[in-house]
Amino acid sequence: MTAALTGFATGFSLILAIGAQNAFVLRQGLLRSHVFWLCLFCAASDALLITAGVAGFGAMVAAAPWLPLVMSLGGAAFLIVYGLTRLIAAWRGGDAMEIGGADHSLWKTLAIAAAFTWANPHVYLDTLGLIGAVSTQYPDWPTRITFGAGAVIASFVFFFGLGYGARFLAPIMRSARAWQVLDLVIGLTMLAIAAKLIAGVL
């Protein structure tokens, strides 16, 4: 159960930051346009990448036993830098989001989502690298699979929650204060994950 919760928290925190993909899902949710298929596409894409990270990382570790240390320290460094940038953003404020523009057909909507997902280098670092690295804390496969399942569930909860909850979030997401709180939570979560990664290899 602990592995599943850790996987859920890790996966959820990594996709919580509002980037281009999440902003697009939020926008479509506000428009109430193709929400189900868009959320399913984004969550399924994450599930595929998370599965590859958890499964493939174990195979790479068998060939290179030093890889978990390197990936964990590298991932921790990235999380520390990223977490600090979110804390700085929270301190500065002024990151309210504006959403507008024309609607798209289903296929164009999915094509845009695919570009945001698969052409984004950070998604590979998050799923194949960071989640794969954290999964090595669980040497036995049943526990590691449980961890991966938690991360996959987090993606489905996040994207469907964002897409269908957008209509309720719209007034809040236009508030700079709300973004300060969100950035603060993201920053502290990233630093906590970084600390756990470092503690796991030292």
User: In the structure encoding, which two tokens stand for residue 41, read together?
Assistant: 């596409």
pLDDT in the model for residue 196: 77
Residue 113: pLDDT band with limits 50, 70, 90: confident
58-91 pLDDT per residue, tens: 566 667 777 767 777 877 887 788 789 888 988 8
What single-letter amino acid sits at 151? A
Confidence of residue 43 (pLDDT cuts 50, 70, 90): very high
User: Considering the entire predicted model, what is its pTM?
Assistant: 0.68
Nearest in space to 139 (alpha carbons), one of 51, 67, 58, 56: 58
**Average pLDDT over every residue of 139-148:** 86
- Give the chain's domain count: 1
What's the DSSP call for residue 137? Answer: T
Task: Determine the straight-line distance between the first and last CA of the chain, rounded to whole angstroms.
Answer: 24
Q: What distance lies between CA 195 and its chain's CA centroid?
A: 18
What range defines the domain where residue 184 resides? 2-201
Axis-axis angle for helices 176-201, 2-16 (nearest 10): 130
Angle at 87 between CA 82 and CA 93, to 5 degrees: 120
